[in-house]
Amino acid sequence: MQRKTFMTILRILLILILVVIIVPTMQDYFSQPTPEEANIGYNASTAYAVVDQIIEEGTIILGDVTQPYQIFLVKILDGPHAGKIFQIDYGTRQLRSDRVHLKLGDKILVTISENPVNNEVSAYFTDFSRQTSLLWLFIIFCVASVTISGWKGLRSLIGIFLSIFIIILIILPGIREGKDPLLVTLAGAALFVSLSLYIVYGWTVKTHTAFIGSLIAMTFTGILALIFVNSTKLTGFGDENVFYIAQLTNNQMDYLNLLLAGIIIGTLGVLDDLVVSQSSAIFELYKQNPDLSIMQLFRSGMNIGKDHIAATVNTLVLAYAGTSLPMLLLFSFHSIDYGMVLNLEFIAEEIVRTLVGSLGLFAAVPVTTCLAALVAVKYRNFGKLKIYLGPLNE
């Protein structure tokens, strides 16, 4: 009964924390943006439109490239020009893919501009509307997650939404308001790790161990990132988006700390999975053989962890390589000095990001394994603390 009461109080406190932290930031986030804020990303005059009529289509030569083009009429669906018809061309002035053709009824994004001299209004193709396909993909993902993993799959979805909320509603606004990017990210990351772990895996000793292991590994990753970002003389301007941020903020932001924050966030997702797997493996081994000593549990857990971390690090490296594939292909077209290429800042950033993140994962395995082995063997001596710490595993 004591444990049931404790768990009820804990859940109420968790809900209150979420309400206090997330609701005020959601109000700020969904409030109407100022004109200056609206100009970030798509232009303030960007609107949804639907293809109303195909006027002409064929092929055209732009430079040395032969490509298809289309000229069509669109009907604006929202904004001050809703209901108006505009003629738009797609492919007569810009390079386009020959695999995507617009059809009647297709929904697109257009940019509407007004000439202040003669008040002439014109519209230009901006992008395709992808929300419907993305929504269906997300629905399929949610159904598959719940079908395969059951209640834990549902709790993992809650963890995903929580991480998105923390990044969009806490970390990004904090950085935008001029707070130190690294400190804001560390606070947000700690909040994300704690809430997501306990929501998905419950209030158990396994979760406590995974949480502590995550914090230690995250701290280690941050220290390593700081050391090697400074030693490689990275400035944080390896990403071209940082130049736009510099213009928007009058170059007032700490871009080096922004880079460090990105490294920590990039490591978190894999770190979460790794520490939980290690903690779970140790407690399961102990459940099957309670006579195992701390050292025996640690050795067995490390044998599991070695395989897990090898696969995880390989996944991490391939993920970075996959996102950089067009850039790697571009380099392959030229006879270049690869030593010089590795020295370029935007390449060096990815190398530091990948290797530091991997070293953080290396640290997470022995730290979490040692903690889990120690707690598993000593749990029987915790006495009344068991009521508040919860069971070893669920």
What's the pLDDT at 185? 84
Residue 268: pLDDT band (50, 70, 90) is confident
Separation between Cα atoms, residue 208 and residue 328, nearest integer Å: 42
Among 2-11, 161-170, 232-241, the minimum mean pLDDT is found in 2-11
Rounded mean pLDDT of the chain? Answer: 80
What's the pLDDT at 299? 92
pLDDT tens digits along 31-59:
444 444 444 444 448 889 999 999 998 88
Tokens of 38: 């609206």
248 versus 152: the higher-pLDDT residue is 248
Among 114-128, 178-192, 310-324, the minimum mean pLDDT is found in 310-324
pLDDT tens digits along 185-230:
888 888 888 877 887 777 888 888 999 999 999 889 888 988 998 8
Would you tell me which CATH number, out of the four given (2.60.40, 2.40.50, 1.25.40, 2.60.120), belongs to the domain 46-129?
Answer: 2.40.50
Domain ranges of the chain: 2-38, 46-129, 150-389
pLDDT tens digits along 159-187:
778 778 888 888 888 887 878 888 888 88
338 versus 305: the higher-pLDDT residue is 305
Please state the pTM of the whole predicted model: 0.71
What's the pLDDT at 328? 72
3-state SS, the chain, equals CHHHHHHHHHHHHHHHHHHHHHHHHHHHHCCCCCHHHHCCCCCCCEEEEEEEEEEEEEEEEECCEEEEEEEEEEEECCCCCCCCEEEEEECCCCCCCCCCCCCCCCEEEEEEEECCCCCCEEEEEEEECCHHHHHHHHHHHHHHHHHHHHHHHHHHHHHHHHHHHHHHHHHHHHHHCCCCHHHHHHHHHHHHHHHHHHHHHCCCHHHHHHHHHHHHHHHHHHHHHHHHHHHCCCCCCCCCHHHHHHHHCCCCCCHHHHHHHHHHHHHHHHHHHHHHHHHHHHHHHHHHCCCCCHHHHHHHHHHHHHHHHHHHHHHHHHHHHHHCHHHHHHHHCCCCCHHHHHHCHHHHHHHHHHHHHHHHHHHHHHHHHHHHHHHHHHHHHCCCHHHHHCCCCC
Residue 117 has pLDDT above 70, yes or no: yes
What's the pLDDT at 29? 47
Residue 136 has pLDDT above 90, yes or no: yes
Residues 379 and 386 sit within 8 Å (Cβ to Cβ): yes
